[in-house]
Amino acid sequence: MVIIDANKPYRDCPNPADYEIEFLGANADTGLVTNHTTPFKVKNLTSGRYIDFRVASPRNLTYWSFGDDIYFYEYVENLGGEKYTWIVDIIPPDTAGGVLPVPPQIGDVFQIRTHRPFSHDERFRFTVNAGRIDKEVTKTCLDQIAVVPNPYVVSASWEPQHYYSFGRGDQKIDFIHLPAKCTIRIFTIRGHLVATIDRDSNIEDGSESWNLLSKDGMRIAYGVYIYHVDAPEIGEKIGKFAVIQ
Protein backbone atom coordinates (compact mmCIF):
# COMPACT_ATOMS: atom_id res chain seq x y z
CA MET A 1 0.00 0.00 0.00
CA VAL A 2 1.40 3.41 -0.99
CA ILE A 3 0.12 6.53 0.76
CA ILE A 4 0.88 10.01 -0.58
CA ASP A 5 0.58 12.65 2.13
CA ALA A 6 0.41 16.28 1.01
CA ASN A 7 -0.25 17.74 4.46
CA LYS A 8 2.87 16.91 6.43
CA PRO A 9 5.56 19.55 7.15
CA TYR A 10 8.56 20.24 4.89
CA ARG A 11 6.37 20.14 1.79
CA ASP A 12 6.98 23.18 -0.42
CA CYS A 13 4.74 22.21 -3.34
CA PRO A 14 2.95 19.14 -4.75
CA ASN A 15 4.82 18.89 -8.03
CA PRO A 16 2.58 17.87 -10.98
CA ALA A 17 4.53 14.80 -12.10
CA ASP A 18 4.44 10.99 -12.13
CA TYR A 19 7.00 8.91 -10.24
CA GLU A 20 8.47 5.44 -9.87
CA ILE A 21 10.05 3.90 -6.80
CA GLU A 22 12.39 1.24 -8.20
CA PHE A 23 13.61 -1.52 -5.88
CA LEU A 24 17.13 -2.42 -6.96
CA GLY A 25 18.54 -4.26 -3.93
CA ALA A 26 20.40 -3.32 -0.74
CA ASN A 27 22.25 0.01 -0.67
CA ALA A 28 20.67 1.19 -3.92
CA ASP A 29 20.69 4.78 -2.72
CA THR A 30 21.22 6.98 0.31
CA GLY A 31 18.72 9.55 1.51
CA LEU A 32 19.67 13.18 2.00
CA VAL A 33 20.54 14.70 5.38
CA THR A 34 20.03 11.56 7.48
CA ASN A 35 21.96 9.28 5.09
CA HIS A 36 19.46 6.44 5.38
CA THR A 37 20.41 3.40 3.31
CA THR A 38 17.56 2.47 0.98
CA PRO A 39 16.93 -0.47 -1.38
CA PHE A 40 15.30 1.83 -3.96
CA LYS A 41 15.77 4.85 -6.16
CA VAL A 42 13.08 7.44 -6.98
CA LYS A 43 12.53 8.57 -10.55
CA ASN A 44 10.46 11.46 -11.84
CA LEU A 45 8.77 9.92 -14.89
CA THR A 46 7.60 13.26 -16.23
CA SER A 47 11.11 14.72 -16.41
CA GLY A 48 12.85 11.35 -16.89
CA ARG A 49 15.36 12.08 -14.09
CA TYR A 50 16.19 10.32 -10.84
CA ILE A 51 15.57 12.63 -7.89
CA ASP A 52 16.90 13.03 -4.38
CA PHE A 53 14.83 12.21 -1.34
CA ARG A 54 14.99 12.31 2.43
CA VAL A 55 13.90 9.48 4.74
CA ALA A 56 12.35 10.29 8.12
CA SER A 57 12.27 7.28 10.46
CA PRO A 58 10.30 7.50 13.73
CA ARG A 59 12.39 4.55 14.98
CA ASN A 60 15.70 6.38 14.49
CA LEU A 61 17.01 3.64 12.22
CA THR A 62 19.82 4.18 9.72
CA TYR A 63 18.12 2.13 7.03
CA TRP A 64 14.71 2.47 5.43
CA SER A 65 11.81 0.30 6.61
CA PHE A 66 8.06 0.21 6.06
CA GLY A 67 6.24 3.24 7.41
CA ASP A 68 9.16 5.63 7.05
CA ASP A 69 8.33 8.92 5.36
CA ILE A 70 10.04 9.48 2.00
CA TYR A 71 10.31 13.20 1.19
CA PHE A 72 10.83 13.81 -2.53
CA TYR A 73 13.40 16.55 -3.12
CA GLU A 74 13.70 17.79 -6.68
CA TYR A 75 14.13 20.74 -8.99
CA VAL A 76 10.83 22.54 -9.66
CA GLU A 77 11.18 24.93 -12.57
CA ASN A 78 8.27 27.24 -11.83
CA LEU A 79 9.58 27.75 -8.27
CA GLY A 80 13.14 28.20 -9.46
CA GLY A 81 15.03 25.63 -7.45
CA GLU A 82 15.20 22.45 -5.37
CA LYS A 83 12.04 21.86 -3.34
CA TYR A 84 10.41 19.21 -1.22
CA THR A 85 7.35 18.06 -3.12
CA TRP A 86 5.51 14.83 -2.23
CA ILE A 87 5.75 12.76 0.94
CA VAL A 88 5.26 9.03 0.41
CA ASP A 89 4.73 6.23 2.93
CA ILE A 90 4.91 2.57 1.91
CA ILE A 91 2.78 0.65 4.38
CA PRO A 92 2.16 -3.13 4.25
CA PRO A 93 -1.50 -4.21 4.16
CA ASP A 94 -3.36 -5.42 7.23
CA THR A 95 -2.69 -9.08 8.00
CA ALA A 96 -6.01 -9.58 9.77
CA GLY A 97 -7.34 -11.49 6.78
CA GLY A 98 -4.64 -14.12 7.09
CA VAL A 99 -2.68 -12.99 4.02
CA LEU A 100 0.97 -12.33 4.75
CA PRO A 101 2.41 -9.32 2.89
CA VAL A 102 5.28 -9.94 0.50
CA PRO A 103 8.01 -7.30 0.81
CA PRO A 104 9.22 -5.62 -2.39
CA GLN A 105 11.66 -7.70 -4.39
CA ILE A 106 14.52 -6.63 -6.65
CA GLY A 107 12.95 -5.41 -9.89
CA ASP A 108 9.64 -4.35 -8.31
CA VAL A 109 8.40 -0.88 -9.25
CA PHE A 110 5.80 1.25 -7.46
CA GLN A 111 4.24 3.77 -9.83
CA ILE A 112 2.71 6.96 -8.47
CA ARG A 113 0.35 8.84 -10.79
CA THR A 114 -0.81 12.35 -9.99
CA HIS A 115 -3.68 14.42 -11.33
CA ARG A 116 -2.02 17.41 -12.91
CA PRO A 117 -2.63 20.29 -15.33
CA PHE A 118 -0.92 20.55 -18.70
CA SER A 119 2.60 21.96 -18.70
CA HIS A 120 4.61 23.86 -21.30
CA ASP A 121 6.69 20.72 -21.90
CA GLU A 122 3.75 18.66 -23.16
CA ARG A 123 3.03 18.36 -26.85
CA PHE A 124 0.03 16.88 -28.65
CA ARG A 125 0.06 15.82 -32.28
CA PHE A 126 -3.15 15.14 -34.19
CA THR A 127 -3.48 13.35 -37.50
CA VAL A 128 -6.66 13.71 -39.53
CA ASN A 129 -7.74 12.21 -42.82
CA ALA A 130 -9.13 14.35 -45.61
CA GLY A 131 -12.82 14.03 -46.36
CA ARG A 132 -13.80 11.65 -49.11
CA ILE A 133 -16.93 10.33 -50.75
CA ASP A 134 -17.80 6.68 -50.20
CA LYS A 135 -20.19 5.95 -53.03
CA GLU A 136 -21.54 2.78 -51.45
CA VAL A 137 -22.37 4.60 -48.23
CA THR A 138 -23.83 7.54 -50.15
CA LYS A 139 -26.21 5.22 -52.02
CA THR A 140 -27.75 4.13 -48.73
CA CYS A 141 -28.31 7.79 -47.77
CA LEU A 142 -30.38 8.79 -50.79
CA ASP A 143 -33.59 8.06 -48.90
CA GLN A 144 -32.67 10.82 -46.44
CA ILE A 145 -32.99 13.52 -49.12
CA ALA A 146 -35.90 15.78 -48.26
CA VAL A 147 -37.37 19.24 -48.75
CA VAL A 148 -37.81 21.69 -45.87
CA PRO A 149 -40.22 23.11 -45.09
CA ASN A 150 -42.73 20.72 -46.57
CA PRO A 151 -45.34 21.96 -47.11
CA TYR A 152 -44.11 25.48 -47.71
CA VAL A 153 -46.84 27.71 -46.27
CA VAL A 154 -46.56 31.38 -47.25
CA SER A 155 -43.03 31.71 -45.84
CA ALA A 156 -40.24 30.04 -43.90
CA SER A 157 -38.69 31.29 -40.64
CA TRP A 158 -35.17 31.61 -42.10
CA GLU A 159 -36.15 33.92 -44.97
CA PRO A 160 -34.78 37.50 -44.65
CA GLN A 161 -37.06 40.24 -43.41
CA HIS A 162 -37.51 43.38 -45.51
CA TYR A 163 -38.10 46.24 -43.10
CA TYR A 164 -37.48 49.11 -45.53
CA SER A 165 -39.16 47.91 -48.74
CA PHE A 166 -42.55 46.76 -49.94
CA GLY A 167 -43.38 43.38 -51.35
CA ARG A 168 -43.01 39.78 -50.34
CA GLY A 169 -39.25 39.64 -50.65
CA ASP A 170 -37.14 36.53 -51.16
CA GLN A 171 -38.63 33.06 -50.78
CA LYS A 172 -36.83 29.73 -50.70
CA ILE A 173 -36.96 26.10 -49.76
CA ASP A 174 -34.01 23.83 -49.05
CA PHE A 175 -33.15 20.39 -50.33
CA ILE A 176 -31.17 18.60 -47.60
CA HIS A 177 -28.90 15.51 -47.31
CA LEU A 178 -27.79 15.88 -50.92
CA PRO A 179 -24.67 14.32 -52.49
CA ALA A 180 -21.88 16.75 -53.32
CA LYS A 181 -22.59 16.53 -57.07
CA CYS A 182 -26.08 16.04 -58.43
CA THR A 183 -28.79 17.59 -60.61
CA ILE A 184 -32.17 18.50 -59.12
CA ARG A 185 -35.11 18.76 -61.51
CA ILE A 186 -38.45 20.10 -60.34
CA PHE A 187 -41.67 19.20 -62.18
CA THR A 188 -45.32 20.05 -61.90
CA ILE A 189 -47.69 17.22 -61.04
CA ARG A 190 -48.42 17.00 -64.79
CA GLY A 191 -44.74 16.45 -65.59
CA HIS A 192 -43.79 19.89 -66.90
CA LEU A 193 -40.23 20.90 -66.06
CA VAL A 194 -40.25 23.92 -63.75
CA ALA A 195 -36.59 24.40 -62.81
CA THR A 196 -33.20 22.68 -62.91
CA ILE A 197 -30.50 23.05 -60.25
CA ASP A 198 -26.98 21.82 -60.98
CA ARG A 199 -25.23 21.21 -57.70
CA ASP A 200 -21.43 20.97 -57.36
CA SER A 201 -20.48 21.63 -53.75
CA ASN A 202 -18.20 20.26 -51.03
CA ILE A 203 -19.02 17.11 -49.09
CA GLU A 204 -19.50 19.00 -45.82
CA ASP A 205 -22.51 20.93 -47.16
CA GLY A 206 -25.49 18.73 -47.94
CA SER A 207 -28.08 21.43 -48.61
CA GLU A 208 -29.16 23.38 -51.70
CA SER A 209 -31.63 26.26 -51.78
CA TRP A 210 -34.27 27.04 -54.43
CA ASN A 211 -35.86 30.49 -54.69
CA LEU A 212 -39.27 29.17 -55.88
CA LEU A 213 -38.75 30.75 -59.31
CA SER A 214 -39.27 28.83 -62.53
CA LYS A 215 -36.62 28.51 -65.22
CA ASP A 216 -38.33 31.51 -66.85
CA GLY A 217 -37.90 33.64 -63.72
CA MET A 218 -41.60 33.49 -62.75
CA ARG A 219 -42.95 32.92 -59.24
CA ILE A 220 -44.40 29.40 -59.10
CA ALA A 221 -48.05 28.76 -58.34
CA TYR A 222 -49.28 26.89 -55.30
CA GLY A 223 -49.70 23.15 -55.65
CA VAL A 224 -47.83 19.87 -55.44
CA TYR A 225 -44.44 19.48 -57.16
CA ILE A 226 -42.24 16.51 -57.97
CA TYR A 227 -38.47 16.65 -57.59
CA HIS A 228 -35.94 14.28 -59.10
CA VAL A 229 -32.36 14.11 -57.79
CA ASP A 230 -29.85 12.50 -60.17
CA ALA A 231 -26.42 11.79 -58.66
CA PRO A 232 -24.00 10.29 -61.25
CA GLU A 233 -22.61 6.87 -60.26
CA ILE A 234 -24.61 7.00 -57.02
CA GLY A 235 -28.30 6.84 -57.79
CA GLU A 236 -31.58 8.74 -58.00
CA LYS A 237 -34.24 9.97 -55.62
CA ILE A 238 -37.79 11.06 -56.45
CA GLY A 239 -39.96 12.93 -53.96
CA LYS A 240 -42.62 15.59 -53.73
CA PHE A 241 -43.39 18.76 -51.85
CA ALA A 242 -46.29 21.16 -51.59
CA VAL A 243 -46.48 24.96 -51.84
CA ILE A 244 -49.38 26.65 -50.08
CA GLN A 245 -49.87 30.38 -50.59
pLDDT at 26 over 70: yes
pLDDT in tens, 53-69: 888 877 766 778 888 88
More confident position, 9 or 51: 51
pLDDT in tens, 27-83: 888 777 667 788 899 999 988 999 998 888 777 667 788 888 888 998 887 667 888
In this structure, is residue 127 part of a structural domain?
no
How many domains, in total, are found in the chain?
Answer: 2
Regarding whether 106 and 42 lie in a shared domain, the answer is yes
Regarding whether 7 and 101 lie in a shared domain, the answer is yes
Determine the Cα–Cα distance for residues 179 and 236; give it in Å rounded to an integer. 10
Decide: 114 and 18 in contact? Cβ < 8 Å. yes
In this structure, is residue 119 part of a structural domain?
no
Regarding whether 143 and 80 lie in a shared domain, the answer is no
Regarding whether 66 and 27 lie in a shared domain, the answer is yes
Decide: 222 and 243 in contact? Cβ < 8 Å. yes
Determine the Cα–Cα distance for residues 173 and 240; give it in Å rounded to an integer. 13
pLDDT at 197 over 70: yes
Regarding whether 48 and 105 lie in a shared domain, the answer is yes
Regarding whether 145 and 96 lie in a shared domain, the answer is no
In terms of C-beta distances under 8 Å and separation of at least 24 residues, what long-range contacts does 236-245 make, across chains too? 236/142, 237/142, 237/143, 237/145, 239/145, 239/146, 239/147, 241/147, 241/150, 241/151, 241/152, 241/173, 242/150, 242/151, 242/152, 243/151, 243/152, 243/212, 244/151, 244/152, 244/153, 244/154, 245/154, 245/221
Regarding whether 175 and 98 lie in a shared domain, the answer is no
pLDDT at 165 over 50: no
Regarding whether 181 and 84 lie in a shared domain, the answer is no
More confident position, 129 or 39: 39
Regarding whether 182 and 225 lie in a shared domain, the answer is yes
For the chain, give the percent of residues with pLDDT over 70: 83
Pairing of strands 49-56, 40-44: antiparallel
Regarding whether 52 and 143 lie in a shared domain, the answer is no
In this structure, is residue 124 part of a structural domain?
no
In this structure, is residue 118 part of a structural domain?
no
Regarding whether 238 and 148 lie in a shared domain, the answer is yes
For residue 140, the surrounding DSSP H or E stretch is helix 135-140
Determine the Cα–Cα distance for residues 119 and 39; give it in Å rounded to an integer. 32
What is the domain range of residue 76?
2-112
